[in-house]
Amino acid sequence: MSEPPGATVTLPEAPTSDEPSKTLTAQHVLPLRRPGRWIATAVVLVLVAQFVHGLVSNPFYQWDRWGYWFLRPTILDGLLTTLQVAAYSAVLGLLGGIVLALARLSKSPVLRAVSWTYVWALRSIPLIVVLIFLYNFSALYKTLSVGIPFGPAFFSFDESKLATDMVVAVIGLSLNEAAYAAEVVRGGILSVDQGQHEAAASLGLPKGYQFRKIVFPQALRSIIPNYVNQLIGLIKGTSLVFYVSLLDLFGSAQTMGSTYPGDIVPLLLVVTVWYLILTSVVSVVQFYVERYYARGATRSLPPTPLQKLRAGLTDLRARIRREAAV
Amino acid sequence: MTTETLEAPADAEAATVEVHDVHKWYGTHRVLDGVDLTVRPGEVTVILGPSGSGKSTLLRVINHLEKPEIGHVSINGELIGVKRQGERLKELSERAILTQRGRIGFVFQNFNLFPHLTVLDNVAAAPVATGRLGKTKAQELARELLGRVGLGDKTGAYPRQLSGGQQQRVAIARALALRPGVIVFDEPTSALDPELVGEVLAVIKDLATSGTTLLIVTHEIGFAREIADRVVFIDGGKIIEQGPPSEVLDKPRHERTRDFLSKVL
């Protein structure tokens, strides 16, 4: 060969073919055809179209009634209750979870044991049982007092006045949520590298500062996805408060459904759509919160959906131009 | 690389470090077996020894990241992590130990920078958190120190956006922000790619000539020969021999030292 070695690659002459050998440089590689993928896509599209068609055209769903109910004040009142119960329980549950996680990680065997037992018990008892138990709590203990066991009480209060349905619901959900949050938070704290604790200690940073500014922000990176998972479970879990006579989103729809039995299906769809919206909002917030806490953990921040869309369009345009050029 | 010579911060007096008969066990494994060591102010001490010989543990005992079972450490005559009570030693409160640690700079093998804070905040964290400086003053100091280690242009970066050598230089600046009387280096170049070792050693060398007391565990024998006032060879948790590099490195008296040097040189 006359060319310098490695400059071009030449096809070996095929003995049976009389076509001249072509150089392989500067040639686009033809992408492999994937007919299986196209067939699977077509099948899935047909199934999706069928499902959507059924959803729209089946009179069973009564979409006109859905439109009637979707923004009714009773439903919106219920939604507000759902949001309130979920928000209070999420905050109290997380705070409780942080305390339980710190207790579980402490050096005191008593704190560790109490924390473990709490998590064990509350994760074992069904939420509905906790709620109904709390609902009947005032019948078991008429007054609650703070004092020394078997000794004098410092102050006491009448429970029936304090324990509104809302309070019962929030306490029940928070107790349950704290048990799960404790494990989520503990996992997050354990995921922070031991070297971070050592570096913080070696700099003489005060203990509280070490936790708030060094360990916890890093733990949040693994806490957030798990806690949001938990939070979505909590939002749906609020539907159980109906059984302690609190009219949340589900409860309102259920009540309306017994008054207008013909509308049960559209009412359930109203509830479904609202829960979908709530979950979506939480997911969007999750994305941006996660992105915020990713600072420093990755070399560059993950792109927002808008940035992804822009990059995708630029890509597509470039591809079309290439195809056109070939 | 560094624009100016590193100078000991004005308010940091080079410290005396005394290690007195320190014993340390991990379970039944004896890591330190009666170590005595006195480092004079401004002295540069390089600690050598095979892996598992207890060199890192010795450094960690000095700033009380590890508690010795027997013996004690003092810096400028002040006991570290304990206080004298009659004839006995009593453990100090966690808060008091943290305050003492704030006077000892510690540079880790794996840098251990805080990844979620910018380079500037990494360096400014300790003076702010301990209430020694206000936020503006601390950031001013951090900028100055980062300039000294040649990273004045990286203040806004996050640690993981930097090379290993740059990260270790930030870690050194972070230790300097404590205004420490002594800085301890635990294998500062072992986690670095070979071509990045030099820039970190250059910074340490500048510190060595500036009169700060330095204790360095390293495997860089050439570097030890160049900067050390004293080389200490440790094996099996005991100091086998110590002296100026011209003695310990060139004419070692002990079989084990000779053996070790023949393997690493």
Candidates A218, A159, A167, A156; CA nearest to A190 is A218
Q: Do A205 and B161 touch (CB under 8 A)?
A: no
A204: nearest CA partner in chain B: B98
Where residue B20 falls among pLDDT bands split at 50, 70, 90? very high
> pLDDT-based confidence at A184, cuts 50/70/90?
very high
How does strand B78-79 pair with strand B70-75? antiparallel
Percent of chain A at pLDDT > 70 equals 83
Report yes or no on B111 lying in a domain. yes
Instruction: Quote the CA–CA distance of A219 and A210 in Å, as a whole number.
Output: 12
Residue A9 predicted with pLDDT over 90? no
Å between A241 CA and nearest CA of chain B? 40
Measured from the Cβ of residue B136, the count of other Cβ atoms closer than 10 Å reads 10
Which residues on A lie below 8 Å from B160 (Cβ)?
296-299
Query: Out of A126-130, A314-318, B34-38, B143-147, which region has the weakest mean confidence (pLDDT)?
Result: A314-318
Please say if the pLDDT value at position B203 is more than 60: yes
CA separation (Å) from B72 to A119, B45, B69, B236? 42, 19, 9, 19
CB B45 within 8 A of CB B230: yes
Tokens of A24: 């392989």
* Within-domain flag for B157: yes
Locate B245 and state its tokens: 């590099």
Q: Cα distance from B184 to chain A (closest Cα, Å)?
A: 11
Q: Nearest residue of B to residue A211 by CA position?
A: B129
Which DSSP string corresponds to A287-315? HHHHHHHTBTTBSSPPPPHHHHHHHHHHH
Domains within chain A, CATH numbers bracketed: 59-147+155-296 (1.10.3720.10)
| pTM for the whole structure | 0.79
ipTM for the predicted complex comes to: 0.89
Q: Is B200 left (phi over 0), alpha (psi -120 to 50) or beta?
A: alpha
Q: Are A107 and A188 in contact (CB under 8 A)?
A: no
B79: alpha, beta or left? (left if phi > 0; alpha if psi -120 to 50): beta
Helix extents (H) in chain A: 35-57, 63-70, 73-105, 109-124, 127-135, 137-140, 159-162, 165-190, 194-202, 207-209, 216-237, 249-259, 264-293, 305-325
Cross-chain Cβ contact A209/B129 below 8 Å:
yes
Predicted local distance difference test score (pLDDT) of residue B3: 41
Please say whether the beta carbons of B58 and B47 come within 8 A: yes
Q: How open is the CA angle B132-B138-B140, to the nearest 5 degrees?
A: 145
Per-residue pLDDT band for B4 (boundaries 50, 70, 90) equals very low
Q: Which of A202, A210, A218, A223 to mutate to test the interface with B (most CBs of B within 10 A)?
A: A202
CA distance A109 to B94: 19
Confidence of residue B1 (pLDDT cuts 50, 70, 90): very low
CA distance B68 to chain A (A): 16
Tell me if B121 sits within 8 A of B140, measured CB to CB. no
Bridge partners of B213, per DSSP, are B182
- Residue B64 predicted with pLDDT over 70: yes
CA distance linking residue B203 with residue B7, whole number of Å: 11
CA distance A286 to chain B (A): 18
Cβ contact, residue pair A204, B101, below 8 Å = yes
User: Domain tally for chain B?
Assistant: 1
**Measured distance CA(A113)–CA(B247) in Å, rounded:** 57
Three-class HEC string of B211-231:
CCEEEEECCCHHHHHHHCCEE
In a domain, B2, yes or no: no
pLDDT at B235: 94
Its domain, for residue B56, covers 17-264
Instruction: Please give the residue of chain B at the shortest CA–CA distance from A292.
Output: B116
Q: Is residue B163 part of a domain?
A: yes
Residue A212 Cα, gap to closest chain B Cα (Å) = 11
Question: Is the residue at B76 inside a domain?
Answer: yes
Tens of pLDDT along B221-251? 999 999 999 999 999 999 999 999 999 999 9
pLDDT digits (tens, 9 = 90+) for A284-315: 999 999 888 888 777 777 788 888 889 898 98
Residue B5 lies inside a defined structural domain of this protein: no
List, in order, residues 6 or more apart from B148 with CB less than 8 Å away: B2, B3, B4, B6, B173, B176
Segment B126-174, tens digit of pLDDT: 999 998 899 999 999 999 999 999 999 999 999 999 999 999 999 999 9
Residue B222 covered by a domain: yes
Tell whether B207 is within 8 A of chain A (Cβ): no
With contacts defined as CB-CB under 8 Å, which chain B residues touch A203?
Answer: 101-102, 106, 125-126, 129, 174, 178
d(CA A142, CA A117): 26
In a domain, B86, yes or no: yes
* pLDDT-wise least confident of A159-173, B15-29, B232-246: A159-173
- Residue B204 host element (H or E): helix B194-209
Whole-angstrom distance, CA of residue B105 vs CA of residue B220: 21
Query: Is 90 exceeded by the pLDDT of residue A206?
Result: yes
Return the percentage of chain A with pLDDT > 90, whole number.
58
Closest Cα partner for A214 from B174, B228, B206?
Answer: B174
Phi, psi of A258 (to 5 degrees): -80, -20
| Residue B126 touches chain A, beta carbons under 8 Å | yes
Residue A153's pLDDT band, with cuts at 50, 70 and 90, is: low
Would you state the structure tokens that stand for residue B179, as one six-digit string? 């205004």
For chain A, the residues whose C-beta falls within 8 A of a C-beta of chain B are 193, 195-196, 198-207, 209, 213-214, 217-218, 293, 295-299
Average pLDDT, chain B: 91
Joined together, the tokens standing for residue A59 give: 């009179």
**Helix, strand, coil share (%) of chain B residues, nearest 5:** 35, 25, 40
Contacts for A194 with CB less than 8 Å, ≥ 6 apart: none
**E strand spans, B27-77:** 29-39, 44-48, 70-75
> Would you call B101 an interface residue with chain A, using a CB distance cutoff of 8 Å?
yes
pLDDT band, very low/low/confident/very high, at A141 (cuts 50, 70, 90): low
DSSP state of B182: E
pLDDT of residue A295: 80
Q: Does A1 have pLDDT greater than 90? A: no
Amino acid at B37: L
Closest of B124, B212, B227, B215 to residue B170, by C-alpha: B124
For residue A258, count CB atoms less than 10 angstroms from its CB and return exposed for 0-12, middle for 13-18, buried for 19 or more: exposed
- Report the pLDDT value the prediction gives residue A95, as an integer from 0 to 100: 94
Instruction: Judge contact between B138 and B121, C-beta under 8 A.
Output: no
DSSP lists the bridge partners of residue B19 as: B37, B73
Say what the pLDDT of residue B12 is: 65
Q: Name the least confident of A14-18, A320-324, B36-40.
A: A14-18
CATH number at residue B137: 3.40.50.300
Tokens found for residue A190 = 């354990």
pLDDT in tens, A220-279: 989 999 999 999 999 999 999 988 888 999 999 999 999 999 899 999 999 999 999 999
pLDDT digits (tens, 9 = 90+) for A55-71: 888 888 888 999 999 99
